[in-house]
Chain A
């Protein structure tokens, strides 16, 4: 039952915000409602964490996994579709992250968004609701349902509250691009899901969309490979993997701060989650076969993203492109298939969510003060903005993987874990760390050092901004110093994924 609450609280909260606005416009009430809703989600997730046991021994492949919580209601009997939610360590980490970033998204738009507050928070909360649904659903139809559903509010967020950017890039254009990329690739996944379901149907004569049942479906090589590709492309667009990344810089650049935080912090992670939860366990052999290609794409993404980041003049685009680079590491980690690397993927995702959120919020705060995101018009901001540049320095250092931050742990574990199976990929990927250092320092240099445009102070951080930054900073460092907090939760779930990979003959040589 608690899973239902976790899922429905954001939806209900969103509707409340909207209704409140139309009753007593204009007021601050929707903000408080939204904040309370998000705190409630975080609270529920923390309660689940504190009371649940996520360190159960991993089952043998084919056993029922150890869901900590599960709920299953009949939904569409005609096709054996059920409303099936389940929670294990992996989902829990993702949901805590979602809730936490949801709080940040509400808080960071406190002054940025001034019109149509209620409708804004409706969209914001519905995104969160959709993402929570994605992390909980274990029925493929339900998963797809939430996967597509969360796009609509994100579309509105970018289209209605975004910034119309430079060079004729409109926010509506960016929003439509985002939507078409993700929706079209989503349909490919739907085709794959249906292909899998009909393959199962032709063997057993029953319709089912249940993840637990479908992953037992024996498939021949080619069919499995094609179906796996359908899933992979859908996830690759969201992650994003390089040839499919076209939407990301635009969407990030035009989105309001809260939208960027959600995009980078959570939406990108749904893709990695989907690979870990669905693409690999459903098609272990095909995934193992595909792993070299995926890792090559990841490797390419690391360098390409870094190069792209280096050439940007827009702060938010730079951070967005650096995400492409970071997600390359995640992709390598996922498809290397060792426990250590998969654990690293989890840490990397959480750490990247923190650091990217921090950097996006900082760009939002700079934008509020000097009304530009163009780095050529910045320079010399250090000392003119109170503590803000200091925080920026920390998050930039985190982003380049400085020891002591969570990002270091993540990248280190991924590279260390993957070294056994794919040493040369790791060697090549390590070079990406150098590139990360370069673009991060360039960011730091262009924005905060150099000749100031003027000496006037731009105003320091108010308590709201200060506490957001401080919280993110503490969490980043905590993750860097005590990564076991996260690793313990995800251990079982990751062991299972490793087991799935172990069944398949790994093409290592």
Chain B
């Protein structure tokens, strides 16, 4: 096999996704059909997922100076693809009655997923920037996809403006790093950092500005302001996508960047990250307490969860890759499940999503299994044993204890205690039954639809890995990140 074809194989998932984008676009040009577009997307995503198995044979491999394909990028790539697949199934039921062009949604989704894959595998600032923009720009369109609904349009604009500002920070940070070190590769940067050049402070400022940009994408405090509004305004499947794919990709990049180019020469950056982590746990949970809208609540909860996960970045070391892998896998399953239920209750599209808490009142007595799924997801987000969320929390506390980060341990314990309040309140609403409030409901055959099956599978997975996590741990702990 020639060098070129090996490299092409290594990029196969990305290539397949791009080919699918072109395919869907052409099919729309020929004849508009919602079902065809969705099917092509699902097939493309599955093919990309399968191709990962083939790529597994040749890892780790560096493809051009831009990408490194190793087990690490395959693991997170798989999470991204599975999450995209789940969002596609949800979107299909949701978009069915949208009074507009429905098919283009899948093009945007595929582009964004491709950007996520590129971002995860990047080892160079150029691919970082391209990946991040490819991930974000289609998201503007997706968030505002139900643009006749004012709140969706507003969310789209808000996301676009703030995201643009973040990109500017990112570029400026990169420029400073390049000016100070003369290289755009993470590994080269690490050498400069280690050699202690005289432009050390510029390097740190550059890294700091990049952290600001990434923290915005991860909605960490104090760059979290947009999160609840965008989550609330975006259509359900898009909120799910935003909360999973975008977060996973950016976090995977952040971890790779900090592992390859550890900036902790004098430690203040790590201290800053610790402060950001602690503030995210506290503020995310505290602000969630007073929410009356499920999607906003999940938005604030995601701020807190990313705060917990930042502990792994602050701790560093080999254990952090395992922690991040486990945490993101469980978090993605849980969040997809939660947004999945919200989407199913709001599907098919009929104006603003069913977000208010009272829409869910007594859901258990009308749709017992759907409500059971939601209950499981809430328990998992709260980190109660028997759910996968507990495994993630266990890992995060373990890494914090191992590294002796006692203030973050205190933050996690305190944050979880506060978080319980709103998760439990959300949960108990499903079981109350008091008449007099308007309700919305999933369609009666929800369990037979692809979205419904997906949600049930996720619930099964959350319970299974909560009780018997060994397979997941074995998979993730075998994942290594290739150097340079």
Tell me the A residues contacting B by CB distance below 8 Å.
22, 75-78, 116, 144-146, 148-149, 151-152, 155-156, 159-160, 172, 175-176, 179-180, 183-184, 187-188, 190-191, 194-195, 198
In the complex, what residues of A have CB within 8 A of residue B424's CB?
155, 159, 175-176, 179
A148–B386 alpha-carbon span in the complex (Å): 9
In the complex, what residues of B have CB within 8 A of residue A187's CB?
397, 412-413, 416-417
Contact B428 A159 (CB under 8 A): yes
The 5 A-B pairs at the shortest CB distance, nearest first, are namely: A184-B417, A194-B401, A145-B385, A187-B413, A78-B473
A149–B382 alpha-carbon span in the complex (Å): 12
Contact A176 B421 (CB under 8 A): yes
Besides the known contacts A183-B416, A190-B397, A194-B398, 12 further A-B residue pairs in the complex with CB atoms under 8 A apart: A75-B468, A77-B470, A78-B470, A144-B385, A145-B385, A152-B384, A156-B431, A183-B420, A187-B412, A188-B413, A190-B394, A194-B402
- Contact of A76 (CB < 8 Å), options: B417, B425, B431, B473: B473
Contact A75 B416 (CB under 8 A): no
Q: How far is the CB of A86 from chain B (nearest CB, A)?
A: 20
In the complex, what residues of B have CB within 8 A of residue A151's CB?
384
A179–B425 alpha-carbon span in the complex (Å): 11
A176–B382 alpha-carbon span in the complex (Å): 13
A78 (CB) vs chain B CBs: closest residue: B473
In the complex, what residues of B have CB within 8 A of residue A194's CB?
397-398, 401-402
- Residue of B385, B416, B431 with most partner-chain A CB within 10 A: B385
Contact A75 B428 (CB under 8 A): no
Q: How far is the CB of A116 from chain B (nearest CB, A)?
A: 8
Contact B477 A145 (CB under 8 A): no
With contact pairs A144-B385, A183-B420, A198-B402 given, residues A160 and B431 touching in the complex (Cβ less than 8 Å):
yes
In the complex, what residues of B have CB within 8 A of residue A77's CB?
470
Q: How far is the CB of A220 from chain B (nearest CB, A)?
A: 15
In the complex, what residues of A have CB within 8 A of residue B428's CB?
156, 159-160, 172, 175
B409 at the interface (CB under 8 A from A): yes
Within 8 A of A (CB), among B386-400: 386, 390, 394, 397-398
Contact B413 A148 (CB under 8 A): no
- Contact of A180 (CB < 8 Å), options: B385, B394, B421: B421
In the complex, what residues of A have CB within 8 A of residue B474's CB?
78
A74 (CB) vs chain B CBs: closest residue: B470
In the complex, what residues of A have CB within 8 A of residue B425's CB?
172, 176
Q: Mark B463-484, 1 if CB is under 8 A from A, else 0.
A: 0000011100110010000000
Q: Mark B402-434, 1 if CB is under 8 A from A, else 0.
A: 100000010011101100110011001001100
A160–B431 alpha-carbon span in the complex (Å): 7
Q: How far is the CB of A145 from chain B (nearest CB, A)?
A: 4
A21–B101 alpha-carbon span in the complex (Å): 45
- Contact of B401 (CB < 8 Å), options: A179, A183, A198: A198
Contact B431 A145 (CB under 8 A): no
In the complex, what residues of B have CB within 8 A of residue A155's CB?
424
A151–B468 alpha-carbon span in the complex (Å): 20
A312–B402 alpha-carbon span in the complex (Å): 47
Cross-chain pairs A/B with CB under 8 angstroms, 22 sampled: A22-B368, A78-B470, A78-B473, A78-B477, A148-B385, A149-B386, A152-B384, A156-B428, A160-B432, A175-B424, A176-B420, A176-B424, A180-B420, A183-B417, A184-B416, A184-B417, A187-B412, A188-B413, A190-B394, A190-B397, A191-B397, A194-B402
In the complex, what residues of B have CB within 8 A of residue A148's CB?
384-385, 390
In the complex, what residues of B have CB within 8 A of residue A78's CB?
470, 473-474, 477
With contact pairs A145-B385, A149-B384, A160-B428 given, residues A180 and B417 touching in the complex (Cβ less than 8 Å):
yes
In the complex, what residues of A have CB within 8 A of residue B417's CB?
180, 183-184, 187
B242 at the interface (CB under 8 A from A): no
B11 at the interface (CB under 8 A from A): no
- Residue of B368, B420, B469 with most partner-chain A CB within 10 A: B420
- Contact of B420 (CB < 8 Å), options: A116, A179, A195: A179
A148–B383 alpha-carbon span in the complex (Å): 10
A183–B425 alpha-carbon span in the complex (Å): 15
In the complex, what residues of B have CB within 8 A of residue A76's CB?
469-470, 473
Q: Mark B360-386, 1 if CB is under 8 A from A, else 0.
A: 000001001000000000010000111
With contact pairs A176-B425, A180-B420 given, residues A195 and B401 touching in the complex (Cβ less than 8 Å):
yes
Q: How far is the CB of B443 from chain A (nearest CB, A)?
A: 20
Contact A152 B398 (CB under 8 A): no
In the complex, what residues of B have CB within 8 A of residue A183's CB?
384, 416-417, 420
Q: How far is the CB of B369 from chain A (nearest CB, A)?
A: 10
In the complex, what residues of B have CB within 8 A of residue A75's CB?
468, 470
In the complex, what residues of A have CB within 8 A of residue B368's CB?
22
Q: How far is the CB of A199 from chain B (nearest CB, A)?
A: 10
Contact A149 B385 (CB under 8 A): yes
A151 (CB) vs chain B CBs: closest residue: B384
In the complex, what residues of B have CB within 8 A of residue A172's CB?
425, 428
Q: How far is the CB of A442 from chain B (nearest CB, A)?
A: 36
A43–B470 alpha-carbon span in the complex (Å): 34
In the complex, what residues of A have CB within 8 A of residue B398's CB?
194, 198
A160–B365 alpha-carbon span in the complex (Å): 13
Q: Mark B88-118, 1 if CB is under 8 A from A, else 0.
A: 0000000000000000000000000000000
In the complex, what residues of A have CB within 8 A of residue B390's CB?
148
- Residue of A145, A175, A187 with most partner-chain B CB within 10 A: A187
A155–B469 alpha-carbon span in the complex (Å): 26
A188–B432 alpha-carbon span in the complex (Å): 31
A22–B364 alpha-carbon span in the complex (Å): 12
In the complex, what residues of A have CB within 8 A of residue B401's CB?
191, 194-195, 198
A191–B401 alpha-carbon span in the complex (Å): 7
With contact pairs A22-B368, A152-B384, A179-B424 given, residues A184 and B470 touching in the complex (Cβ less than 8 Å):
no
In the complex, what residues of A have CB within 8 A of residue B413's CB?
184, 187-188, 191
A187 (CB) vs chain B CBs: closest residue: B413
B391 (CB) vs chain A CBs: closest residue: A76
A187–B390 alpha-carbon span in the complex (Å): 11
A179–B424 alpha-carbon span in the complex (Å): 9
A142 (CB) vs chain B CBs: closest residue: B385
In the complex, what residues of A have CB within 8 A of residue B365's CB?
116
Q: How far is the CB of B44 from chain A (nearest CB, A)?
A: 35
- Contact of A152 (CB < 8 Å), options: B379, B397, B421, B432: B379
Q: How far is the CB of B480 from chain A (nearest CB, A)?
A: 15
In the complex, what residues of A have CB within 8 A of residue B432's CB?
160
A26–B106 alpha-carbon span in the complex (Å): 47
A451–B409 alpha-carbon span in the complex (Å): 58
In the complex, what residues of A have CB within 8 A of residue B394's CB?
190
A144–B390 alpha-carbon span in the complex (Å): 11
In the complex, what residues of A have CB within 8 A of residue B386's CB?
145, 149
In the complex, what residues of B have CB within 8 A of residue A116's CB?
365
A148–B466 alpha-carbon span in the complex (Å): 13
In the complex, what residues of A have CB within 8 A of residue B414's CB?
184
A183–B417 alpha-carbon span in the complex (Å): 7
Q: How far is the CB of A140 from chain B (nearest CB, A)?
A: 12
In the complex, what residues of B have CB within 8 A of residue A22's CB?
368
- Residue of B384, B421, B477 with most partner-chain A CB within 10 A: B384
A242–B365 alpha-carbon span in the complex (Å): 40
Q: How far is the CB of A177 from chain B (nearest CB, A)?
A: 9
A459–B43 alpha-carbon span in the complex (Å): 71
Q: How far is the CB of B115 from chain A (nearest CB, A)?
A: 33
